[in-house]
Every structure is written in C-alpha cells, then in structure tokens.
Chains A and B, each alone.
Chain A
C-alpha cells in the first residue's frame, strides 16, 4: 500500500489535495518536528487545494454546519467547546 493518501470529499480536489499533502508531510517531518520552521510552508499547493475545496463545501451543503461548529468550538482555541469541557 505504501504512499496511499486519503481522498478529498470532492473528487475534483483529490489531486490538488495529494500534492499539498505530499509537501506538508515532508515539511512536518523534516522541519516542523525538528523545530526548524517558523513558517507554515507549502503555501502555493495549499492555495490551489483550499480554493477548490471552498467551492465544493458550499456546493455539497456542508458550509452551514461547519460555520455552526466553528462558533461552538473555535479553531483559535484548538477546538475547545466554548461553554465548558470536562477532562
């Protein structure tokens, strides 16, 4: 199986996702984990993939539920639910 990577929920974005994932995984192991990076790299690959995905999320009707979840558990707080979270 080797280098299999997960698909995108939008088939038209899968290739762009794989290109981004390849770049990210190398950056993650070679730079981030070694504390050698202060920049989230792979910007070019990321832009292409995320533009594709943005359109797909709206088309597939996922966006409203996503917005709701972001309000409840913001990205900025690492997804911790705003009211309370028991350990």
Chain B
C-alpha cells in the first residue's frame, strides 16, 4: 500500500467552495472526468447535513503497458459519497474506484474546512489517498502503486488549477447576479418615486373604479 497526501488552500469562503463543488466538472484542466451522476441524495439532521452519492465517469490516458496488463478499456468509474455538514462546517468526500478494483483499489478522502484563522475567506483542502495493487508479482504491484502515486502528484496540481478556475467563474456569476438584483432593487426604488408610476397608478385606480361601477350596474 502506498499513501499520497496533499494539502492546499482556496481563497474563497467555505460555503462558496461547497456550492462550487457541485459544478467542479467539467473544467478545462481536469478533462479526464467526462460525466458526473447523482445516485442518491438525502438531507438529514434537521436539514443541517446533506449526504450525496455520485458516480464519476473518467476517461484516462493510461500508458499502454498498464492497458495490456489489465486488459482494459479506458473508461473507468468512481463512486463518491460526500457529506456537507453545516454545523461542523465540513465537506468530506470519500471515493473509491469501481472499475479494475480486482487489480487496484484507491481509497480517497478529501476534506474542505474553513481556515482556522480566516474562517470566512479561506478554505483548506486536505486530500489523502491509499493505493493498493493486488497481484502475484509484488514487484509489478509496487510499480503500479508508484506510478499511481506519481499520477496523483501530477493531477494534484492540475486539480487545484481546475477547481480555482471553476471557483472564479462561480464567484463572478454570484457577483453578477447580486449586481443584477441590486440593479433591480434600484429600478424598483426609482420607480416607486417616479411620477410615471404614480400617474399610472391613478390611471389604474380610475380603471378599477370604472370596472367596479360597471359590475355594480
């Protein structure tokens, strides 16, 4: 068994990171993820905890020697169970591969928590993956595990860049919609004090009175 660990931070508050997590794929960097499906979702603990089971479909560029070794196609599936805990302010994602699990198992745990000193500005990302290859030839297993750890190392940097790009777009959209809402409020405020609306409302009032009178007659 080989272990891979990684920690980094994102300059966004925890709530935003968890919302963007659902929109993480597709992104321009992590192109190996080609589909994400929601298998099950439950809200528990009086609406403070959300558990979600997802199926991640990947298309990997696996080297030829591994493809031949495992006799595999390049589509693979990962099952992920995530928990968003509003009370603890913790998002945990636990995943394991469904495909080729006779040859190798990768258990991954990812945690997103608010930074202890910047609880509303920075989110800490912690990742741990346990990689175990199964086979009679231990040297080959070890080689496969080493390759996977290296792969994790390469992907970790890409993963950070990819999620950062998603967060940026997410934040921009959020601010855009906030601006739009603010804009609308302003328009309504302006309208409330505008002569046009009061003129209109007196027209409406007159029409309404007319209607009432005619129905009474």
Given A29-B19, A81-B107, the answer on whether A9 and B38 have CB atoms closer than 8 Å is: no
Given A29-B19, A40-B43, the answer on whether A6 and B48 have CB atoms closer than 8 Å is: no
Contact assessment for B173 and A2 in the assembled complex, using a CB-CB cutoff below 8 Å? yes
Q: Say yes or no for B63: interface residue by CB 8 A criterion.
A: no
How extensive is the interface on chain A, given as a class?
Answer: 35 or more
Which of B34, B98, B107, B109 lies in contact with A62, CB distance below 8 A?
A: B98
Q: Say yes or no for B145: interface residue by CB 8 A criterion.
A: no
Interface size on B, residues (CB 8 A): 46
Contact assessment for A28 and B19 in the assembled complex, using a CB-CB cutoff below 8 Å? yes
Which of A1, A10, A21 lies in contact with B22, CB distance below 8 A?
A: A21
The digit string for A48-67, where 1 denotes a CB below 8 A from any CB of B, is 01100100010000100110
| Residues of B near any A CB (own CB < 8 A) | 15, 18-19, 22-23, 25-26, 28, 33-43, 46-48, 50-51, 53, 55, 57, 77, 79-84, 86, 92, 94-96, 98-99, 101, 107, 109, 169, 173
